[in-house]
Amino acid sequence: MWLGSKLHATLPKLIVVTPTYNRSAQIPDLVRLKQTLNLVPHCDWIVVEDALQPNDHVYNYIRDFKSGALLYVSQQSRDPIFRGKEQRNKALQLIRRTASKNPEMEAVVYFADDDNSYDSNFLHSLRYTKQIAIFNVGLVTNRTLEGPLVENNTVIGFRTGFFGNRSFCIDMAGFAVNIQLLLKFPESNFSTARRGRMETEFLSTFNIPLNEFEYFHGKNGIHVWHTQTKNFAISKPDLTIIPANKTATNILAINEKDAITARSTKGKEIRDKDNESVL
């Protein structure tokens, strides 16, 4: 079962799934997301590393997540073109395994990439999703936003600048799914049938008509942004200058390879020792 903070145990749980991979901005992105999620009560966080094994160095930066349970696991991509697919499916497998032991579990699943920006208050509201909630995502495909068109509080279409022939023109950060729906449709996973259509094909598996989707507006209309932190190619070591008569005591005893690509030898799963999830 999921073991997180009991302070807000009466609230439906929010389970956030974050696929991640080795890059120069990985740790800063995860630290920023961790700080956002720490403001969301009764929230569990599943981080799935695109690798054969988790990375101890990455884990050390997120292990102090305090809003709920943290689970850090690994699942390597078979095809880099569809990066994130197998990591999200790994998380869905773990979520269903846990929820099947507690079929009355009240929870909502949200897929939060680590290079986006999120309003913590809005994330808190997603836990009240009854089936599937959809909402605007800012800064998608050089446009102000991508999201649903709504008339009389009913979704009637989408505003998008990317593959307009999709059934559900929505970004990965633009929807949340109730855990009971995931249990009802155990075969609903992310596929790689066509590039750019991972979201619409996933949502189509639930057989819910568009007018039954729940629109979450929030206070300001946009509460999630596709900011995408810029990554840098680190090709040279740091230049360290120390006067001849001095000894520096604060030089980090790590290099780029140690910090970014070191792999754990402790197994394929790392759990927060102070707030363990049992799956």
User: pLDDT tens digits, residue range 44-89?
Assistant: 999 999 999 999 999 999 999 999 999 999 999 988 778 899 999 9
3-state helix, strand and coil shares in percent for the chain, rounded to the nearest 5? 25, 20, 55
Residue 37 gets the label, from left (phi > 0), alpha (psi -120 to 50) or beta, of: alpha
Decide if 49 is catalytic.
Answer: no
End-to-end Cα separation, the chain, in angstroms: 6
Give CA–CA dist 93/73, Å, rounded.
12
Condensed to tens digits (0 to 9), the pLDDT of residues 33-44 reads 999 999 999 999
**What's the pTM value of the predicted model, to 2 decimals?**
0.84
Annotated catalytic residue within 49, 146, 199, 201: 199
